[in-house]
Structure 1
Amino acid sequence: MLTVGTGALARSSNSLVVPAPASAGIGQTNAGRIPEAIDPVPRPGNKPLLKLSLAAYSYRQYLDLKKPSLTLFDFIDIAAWGPLEAVELTSYYFAETSDAYLKKLKDRCRQHGLAISGVPVGNNFCRRDPERLKSEIDTVKAWLERAAKLEAETVRIFAGSLERGDTLEDAQRRVVAAIEECCAHAEKVGVKVALENHGGITATPELLLTLVKQVRSKAFGVNVDTGNFHTADPYADIAKIVPYGIVAQVKTEIIRADKKREEADLPRIIRILKEANFQGYVALEYEAAEEPKVAVPRYLKQLRQLVG
């Protein structure tokens, strides 16, 4: 069983749902129709291949660097007792970023036979100020290089939220340009960029795919977060983006448009992934209220049975 101690309060993030202006359709910019530059991710073979991972964010109240009771090394040791192929090492909890530290993390994973499925980072590419936007891009590039040293497959990014006085079309253009710049760097270092559906200007499948279909890079895809569509039918919306997914984060709850939380139908979620012939890591990212040391082992066991 996974066991952990007690710790600080959970990290939280704010999302702003941005509707498309009535004067422009979701698939348009001021320059006209958006070219569909990226196709759904090719799925070689006839069978899905889901590999189970565990997100460090599941233990955020213990890993919070303001008052940590666990280190990432502790998290890796704990995860090694679970039925996993990999761990997801959230950037928020790296005590340092030196090459020596990264090598120790990679080596600890190897000792336990665990891969590193990804390194999620927090960013906002909706920044209007050029210097602030450049800083956000530089941060992602730096984490791409660190992920490469860790031999992680992906770096998870956000698009961001519309700033006051901005327009959706202008924000979309900046975000796409920023993602493409990061993807060019990702291709050089051998890591993939995974854009998450995370509120803001990715709050619906249509908004997310408006961005995704403009990015021209083989090092790009979607991080399918199963808990982040707060819509009338989150399951149907998850299914719309899975064809573009290169990694997934499974949450144990969904929140519909009425803002009410309900237990996620995990068999249905895994079925959606399998029916799309998804091939990649599926990380449990636990965010519910129950104590993680109790809930995480139970959900991992259920996911192991579902994933196969």
Structure 2
Amino acid sequence: MKNNRRNFIRNSALALAGAGIAGSGVQAQNQKKTAGKKIERNPIGVSSYSFWQFNGPKENAPIEDCIEKAAQMGFDGIEFLLVQMQSEENSYLQKLKRQAFHAGLDIMGFSTHQGYVFPEKEKRQSEVEKTIHQIELAYKLGIPTMRLNTGRWGTSGNFDELMDNKGIEPVLEGHTEDEGFKWVIDAIEQCIPTAEKCGVVLGLENHWGLGRTAEGVLRIVNAIDSPWLQITSDTGNFLERQYEQLEMMAPKTFLIQAKTYFGGGKWYTLDIDYPRVAEIFKKVNYRGYVSVEFEGEEDPMTAVPKSLEMIRDAFTREV
């Protein structure tokens, strides 16, 4: 009986060893096939805005649901739109952070709204205080970068009118663009110490107003000249010279927001050549996140996965 048991163990061990040798041979063959090839890709996130787009009350697309959908679709991270959140209480923020970590997602961006293009110093100071509060929220959530806006002159009747005019609006009567840039620069400078203390990089976005062009964004970023103020490059917010302007901003880009328009855009549709966009950012060795912002009429549950596939393909390369 003991001999039979010894023989069984010995024969099993030999069989396993043989299987291991055979497996090693297959593995070696596979390694040989891929020898000399290395795949690099940018991590891909998704904005919670993609599941809402201001279509109805924000309760229609709670952040908690956006986290679960993003994880199920295979994203690497998620970007929170502040106005979409249900609360700013710390207990709520920590709940979201815990949920995202458990879902395997980085909370990799924070899109906020503010504006500094006001002649009244009190209004500008109020926006500075709001921005500082938003930076502190990002810190509590563990988010490394936060989107900033310059703000607009407010001379358009509404956002639809602004879009009809391709983002161009008249300067407020009695003032100049130079004044506007000074207001924005002075305001953002006041936010830099808090950004540095919290470790949150501010990303000024090409988001209408004085940031409608790459020249406008860079005028502000270069004037402040701080590592805590960089750029959020939105691929869908240039309605002319889009690749030229993205190339201008690429060296200072800290986050890319990639617009997609399946089903036709809500305000307009752009035909964006994403392999070309990826090449622009590859030239400056951009290795950070690309955040999908779906802004089309198709159901997000079908359009957002298609967006992920398109953006991931564009930002994956063999080196």
What's the TM-score, normalizing by structure 2?
Answer: 0.75
Matching residue of 1:78? 69
Counterpart of 2:306, as a letter, is: R
Matching residue of 1:50? 42
Structure 1: how far apart are the matches of 2:177 and 2:272?
31
1:288 corresponds to which of 286, 296, 307: 296
Between 207-216 and 66-75, the greater mean CA deviation after superposition: 66-75
2:210 pairs with 1:205: no
Offset at 1:61? 4.4
Q: Which runs of 5+ in 1 are unaligned?
A: 1-46, 254-258
**8 A Cα contact 1:63 1:70, kept in partner:** no
**8 A Cα contact 2:144 2:201, kept in partner:** yes
2:132 corresponds to which of 133, 136, 141: 141
Q: Deviations over 1:56-106 (max 9, x none)?
A: 111124785x36223101110110012322100010111000110000000
Offset at 1:284? 0.4
Counterpart of 2:210, as a letter, is: I
| Distance verdict in 2 for CA 1:156–1:262, change over 3 Å | closer
Matching residue of 1:156? 147
Tell me, what secondary structure is at the counterpart of 1:222? Answer: strand
2:82 pairs with 1:113: no
Matching residue of 2:51? 59
2:199 pairs with 1:190: yes
Counterpart of 1:193, as a letter, is: L
Structure showing greater relative contact order (alpha-carbon pairs closer than 8 Å, 6 or more residues apart): 1
Offset at 1:116? 0.9
**8 A Cα contact 1:49 1:278, kept in partner:** no
2:283 corresponds to which of 255, 265, 275: 275
2:112 pairs with 1:104: no
| Distance verdict in 2 for CA 1:145–1:60, change over 3 Å | same
**8 A Cα contact 1:187 1:219, kept in partner:** yes
Tell me, what secondary structure is at the counterpart of 1:107? Answer: helix
Tell me, what secondary structure is at the counterpart of 1:87? Answer: strand
Tell me, what secondary structure is at the counterpart of 2:223? Answer: coil
Offset at 1:145? 0.4
**8 A Cα contact 2:52 2:58, kept in partner:** no
Tell me, what secondary structure is at the counterpart of 2:314? Answer: helix
| Distance verdict in 2 for CA 1:61–1:197, change over 3 Å | closer
**8 A Cα contact 2:275 2:315, kept in partner:** no
**8 A Cα contact 2:41 2:312, kept in partner:** no
Tell me, what secondary structure is at the counterpart of 2:202? Answer: strand
Matching residue of 1:128? 119
Report the structure number with the largest CA radius of gyration: 2
| Distance verdict in 2 for CA 1:81–1:284, change over 3 Å | same
Matching residue of 1:224? 233
1:235 corresponds to which of 234, 243, 266: 243
Structure 2: how far apart are the matches of 1:56 and 1:68?
12
Matching residue of 2:3? none
Counterpart of 2:61, as a letter, is: L
Structure 1: how far apart are the matches of 2:217 and 2:244?
14
2:83 pairs with 1:92: yes
Structure 1: how far apart are the matches of 2:205 and 2:78?
18
Paired residue total: 255
Q: Which runs of 5+ in 2 are unaligned?
A: 1-38, 155-171, 262-266
Tell me, what secondary structure is at the counterpart of 1:80? Answer: helix
Matching residue of 2:223? 214
Structure 2: how far apart are the matches of 1:57 and 1:87?
10
Tell me, what secondary structure is at the counterpart of 1:89? Answer: strand
